[in-house]
Amino acid sequence: MSGYFSVMEKQGFEELLFGHDASTGLKAVIAIHSTILGPALGGTRMWPYPAEEAAVEDAMRLARGMTYKAAMADRNLGGGKAVILGDPCRHKSERLLRAYGRFVDKLGGRYITAEDMGIGEKDLDWVRQETAHVLGDSSQGSPSPFTAYGVWRGIKASARAALGSDSLRGLTVAVQGLGNVGGKLCAYLAREGARLIVADLDPEKVKEAVSRWPAKAVAPEEIYAQECDIFAPCAAGGVINEKTLPQLKCRIVAGSANNVLQDRAWGAELMKRGILYAPDYVINAGGLIYVDSMRLGLKDPAEIRRVVGRIEDRLAQIFKRSAAESLPPEAVADLMAEERLQSGAKAATSETQA
């Protein structure tokens, strides 16, 4: 346990909570990174982790990313994340999710949950039966279309910075992952006239993509080596690593996946190779903006898309500062997020002293 405290201190975590319910088999971890700007918001992921330590590491990494995502999206929210250990296809049940809802409710609103891998809108309906601290259930709709819209706008900003134009017509985009976000992103790209290369672990999703759009299908392990203008990772994290980076034949890496870089060092390596990287927690913030808009009572889709569209301008600022300061874009994004967090901390201190 001392190892976890060391990481918490080093990375600025506030809380790391473990929940267990013997009657349902629930084993869950909630990581709250920061509540400086507001309550910690972050989805719940259900996954058959190979070890408990891997689950905790994933929760902490994702929670920290949510803090930075909320700060860069200019939302009054902190960062948190939850993981449930188990196979969502075999172990998920109403009783388990309601037990998880009671776990969330004990935090009194310090943590607000939403959907993530393995947890969908209907699952959140069961969670909501035990706690009000839920966003993105079936009564509110999925945030995925707004995430995809934001990624599309972010890809346009990336193309402008790296290729001199925000038009995607005629460009080749390799999309890894055709789930709720990746599939919708393909629709935006195809509508604009981009050529698609697609890969997914589910052959049915690939088959559907090829039938809907002029897309070339490749095996999942082949997607990295495709000749393309843009590589769009929209599945699991850590896909830019020692093995995959040398295979890349693109000018831009920009997609919806969280924690795209397995290690921060790979961001600097991308920059050395002349590959522009759109920081993941900036470009994929559309879903966060959507669920927070629901929380604040803003339900007009057109207005929410307008706010999500600011991702394009935000990335343009990051790329401009990156070029001026010779820093990788993700380092610039971190600096900008930390500047907002520091400003929020100072404001909180001033209010307390007053």
pLDDT tens digits, one per residue of 21-74: 999 999 999 999 999 999 999 999 999 999 999 999 999 999 999 999 999 999
Catalytic residue among 27, 81, 156, 184: 81
Q: What is the pLDDT of residue 346?
A: 55
Please state the pTM of the whole predicted model.
0.88
User: Which pLDDT band holds residue 1 (cuts at 50, 70, 90)?
Assistant: very low
Task: Please indicate, yes or no, if residue 321 is contained in any of the structural domains.
Answer: yes
- pLDDT band, very low/low/confident/very high, at 223 (cuts 50, 70, 90): very high
Res 188 pLDDT > 70: yes
What range does the domain containing 329 cover? 144-338
Q: Is 2 helix (H, G, I), strand (E, B) or coil?
A: helix
Q: Looking at the structure, do residues 99 and 236 belong to the same domain, yes or no?
A: no
Which residues does residue 195 pair with via DSSP β-bridges, in sequence order?
172
What SS3 string covers 302-314? HHHHHHHCHHHHH
How far is the C-alpha of 20 from the C-alpha of 100, rounded, in Å? 9
96 and 232 part of one domain: no
Is residue 81 part of the annotated active site? The answer reads yes
> Are 244 and 180 members of one domain?
yes
User: Is 139 domain-assigned?
Assistant: no
pLDDT at 174 over 90: yes
In a domain, residue 15? The reply is yes
* CA–CA gap between residue 321 and residue 192 (Å, rounded): 28
In a domain, 268, yes or no: yes
Residue entry with tokens 């976890």: 4
CATH number of the structural domain spanning residue 242: 3.40.50.720
- Give the residue-averaged pLDDT of 314-333: 97
Instruction: Say how many domains are in the chain.
Output: 2
Q: What is the pLDDT of residue 254?
A: 98
**Between residues 141 and 330, the one the model is more confident about:** 330
**207 & 86 share domain:** no
Q: Does the residue 350 lie in any domain?
A: no
Q: What is the pLDDT of residue 289?
A: 95
The CATH number covering residue 23 comes to 3.40.50.10860
Give 260's pLDDT tier (boundaries 50, 70, 90): very high
- Going by C-beta distance under 8 Å and a sequence separation of 6 or more, which residues neighbour residue 294? 135, 136, 140
Residue 352 pLDDT level (bands cut at 50, 70, 90): very low
Q: Cβ(151)–Cβ(77) under 8 Å?
A: no
Strand partners, 16: 31
Same domain, 170 and 316: yes
In a shared domain, residues 189 and 295: yes
| CA 329, 333, 334, 338 torsion-angle sign | positive
Q: Is residue 161 part of a domain?
A: yes
Q: How confident is the model at residue 258 (pLDDT cuts 50, 70, 90)?
A: confident
